[in-house]
């Protein structure tokens, strides 16, 4: 994938955000919907799919391995699957762009099929660690040749039949858990994953919905997820709820900008994903759930968020797995709270699209916010609701969440905040800036 030209953007304070916003489909669920539909025999339909670059990379990869995937004019995606065990040898390397989720989960799928796939990605993805997935998949029989440091590009030769394993997760990672479970779909016998700390459970919910024989047991050692191999998946109609990680930016923006009042529609409230909302409520945020319902097996509600004074907290570390992608947004909220917020227990932020701890410390510092960096998080001295100084240049580091988080910070700054590249936002939320312009009552730039 050729590198796109940087797209600088300036964000400045323009008053309150008001109105209604519908966030795009959940990225985690969108990936899994395409993958499992491609492994079912027959036609599945997916409504509300996130059409960002990461999910489109997953769609392209599944097409390359034999699935037929089409988008209709009304935005509904249809997938004709090849069946578990039916993936075909891709004719060329699978370009994952910036998507770590696509890469790790697809490695799991390929691991138990008799095919070989080469995975490539952009500069950011090529720095991200894949060893944590390589290790269990190798135990199942896959042969992986990776770049130095266990990174992309890498070549994975699957084994069929693969070897079912029992795997204790050394770190809390839904991606590693999901990769092993997906490999187990085409392995004879029972594959088990034991996670000492619960992580997002979209894979378990969706696998069961497609008809996989899956069980979850709570034990003293943690959650034990077992899946029976050689599964036959049934096609499904899937409605993808709104992404809480995308909703996080609007929750924080409405909370920090005086006079703001937003209704954020269709937000997924899977309990393994609501850590940001819990943390914001501890800080005093005014977040009200309306019209709670279940969509596609996932809890969903509309959220009304109004500006409220925030107070510093020590973020409970046990919230980390349920808000790992939302920490950059939380750091911005902390910059406007009264007192010093301390957020620790988030080592995983070091190995995301960027080192998000270092990136946010630098970005906030460049805009006049005092921070203290730890190996596993940040301490942030808030303004007590006053605007931050602003005027700093933000290195977004090819990271969509850094770009969007600092755009939110710029909405309550004395001077504009300058993003060196807003382009990465397209990986998860292509309409973010046009939506922002609309909520500020002005024409999109």
**How many Å apart are CA 382 and CA 313, to the nearest integer?**
11
> What are the binding residues?
27-28, 32, 100, 128, 173, 175, 325, 352, 356, 401
Selection from 206, 188, 175 nearest residue 85 by Cα:
188
Rounded to the nearest 5 percent, the helix, strand and coil shares of the chain are 35, 30, 40
Query: Do 9-25+241-439 and 27-239 have matching folds?
Result: yes
Residue-by-residue pLDDT tens, the chain, 445 positions: 445 789 999 999 999 999 999 999 999 999 999 999 999 999 999 999 999 999 999 999 999 999 999 999 999 999 999 999 999 999 999 999 999 999 999 999 999 999 999 999 999 899 998 999 999 999 999 999 999 999 999 999 999 999 999 999 998 899 999 999 999 999 999 999 999 989 999 999 999 999 999 999 999 999 999 999 999 999 999 999 999 999 999 999 999 999 999 999 999 999 999 999 999 999 999 999 999 999 878 899 999 999 999 999 999 999 998 999 999 999 999 999 999 999 999 999 998 889 999 999 999 999 999 999 999 999 999 999 999 999 999 999 999 999 999 999 999 999 999 999 999 999 999 999 999 999 998 654 4
Please report which helix (H) or strand (E) contains residue 28, including its range.
Answer: helix 27-39
**How many Å apart are CA 216 and CA 19, to the nearest integer?**
41
27-239: CATH topology is UDP-n-acetylglucosamine1-carboxyvinyl-transferase; Chain (3.65.10)
- Which CATH number among 3.20.20.70, 2.160.10.10, 3.40.50.800, 3.65.10.10 corresponds to the domain 9-25+241-439? 3.65.10.10
Q: What residue spans define the domains of the chain? A: 9-25+241-439, 27-239
> What are the binding residues for 3-phosphoshikimate?
27-28, 32, 173, 175, 325, 352
CB atoms within 10 A of CB 131: 12
Selection from 250, 214, 221, 209 nearest residue 332 by Cα:
250
Selection from 48, 52, 34 nearest residue 106 by Cα:
34
**Dihedral pair phi/psi, residue 299, rounded to 5°:** -70, 140
Sign of CA dihedral 142, 145, 147, 148: positive
Predicted pLDDT of residue 2? 40
The token pair at 32 is: 């899994």
The residues pairing with 413 across neighbouring beta strands, listed in sequence order, are 388
Query: Active-site residue numbers?
Result: 325
> What are the binding residues for phosphoenolpyruvate?
27, 100, 128, 175, 356, 401
pTM over 0.75: yes
Instruction: Note the residue count of the chain.
Output: 445
C-alpha angle 296/302/303, rounded to 5°?
135
């Amino acid at each position: 994938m050729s590198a796109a030209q940087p797209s600088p953007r300036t964000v400045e304070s323009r008053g309150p955000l008001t109105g209604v916003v519908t966030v795009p489909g959940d990225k985690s669920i969108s990936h899994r919907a395409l993958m499992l539909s491609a492994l079912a025999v027959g036609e599945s339909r997916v409504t509300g799919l996130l059409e960002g670059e990461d999910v489109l990379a997953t769609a392209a990869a599944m097409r390359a391995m034999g699935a037929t995937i089409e988008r209709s004019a009304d935005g509904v995606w249809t997938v004709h699957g090849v069946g578990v065990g039916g993936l075909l040898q891709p004719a060329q390397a699978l370009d994952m762009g910036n998507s770590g989720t696509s890469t790790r989960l697809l490695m799991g799928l390929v691991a138990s099929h008799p095919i070989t796939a080469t995975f490539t990605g952009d500069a950011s993805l090529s720095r991200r660690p894949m060893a944590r997935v390589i290790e269990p998949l190798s135990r199942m029989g896959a042969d992986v040749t990776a770049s130095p440091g266990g990174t992309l590009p890498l070549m994975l030769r699957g084994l069929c039949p693969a070897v079912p394993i029992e795997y204790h997760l050394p770190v809390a990672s839904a991606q590693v858990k999901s990769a092993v479970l997906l490999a187990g779909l085409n392995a004879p016998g029972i594959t088990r994953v034991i996670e000492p700390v619960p992580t997002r459970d979209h894979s378990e919910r969706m696998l069961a919905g497609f008809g996989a024989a899956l069980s979850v047991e709570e034990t003293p050692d943690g959650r034990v997820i077992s899946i029976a191999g050689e599964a036959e998946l049934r096609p499904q109609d899937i409605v993808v709820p709104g992404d809480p990680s995308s909703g996080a930016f609007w929750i924080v923006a409405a909370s920090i900008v005086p006079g703001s009042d937003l209704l954020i529609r269709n937000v997924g409230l899977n309990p393994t994903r609501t850590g940001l909302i819990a943390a914001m409520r501890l800080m005093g945020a005014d977040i009200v759930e309306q019209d709670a319902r279940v969509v596609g097996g996932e809890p969903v509600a509309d959220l009304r968020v109004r500006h409220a004074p925030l107070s510093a907290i020590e973020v409970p570390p046990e919230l980390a797995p349920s808000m790992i992608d939302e920490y950059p947004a939380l750091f911005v909220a902390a910059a406007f709270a009264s007192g010093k917020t301390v957020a620790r227990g988030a080592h995983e932020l070091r190995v995301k699209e960027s080192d998000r701890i270092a990136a946010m410390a630098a970005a906030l510092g460049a805009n006049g916010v005092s921070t203290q960096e730890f190996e596993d998080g940040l301490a942030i001295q808030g303004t007590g609701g006053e605007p931050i100084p602003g005027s700093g240049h933000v290195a977004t580091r090819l990271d969509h969440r850094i770009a969007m988080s600092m755009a939110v910070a710029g909405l309550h700054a004395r001077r504009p905040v300058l993003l060196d590249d807003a382009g990465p936002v397209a990986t998860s939320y292509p309409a973010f800036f046009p939506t922002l312009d609309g909520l500020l009552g002005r024409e999109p730039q």
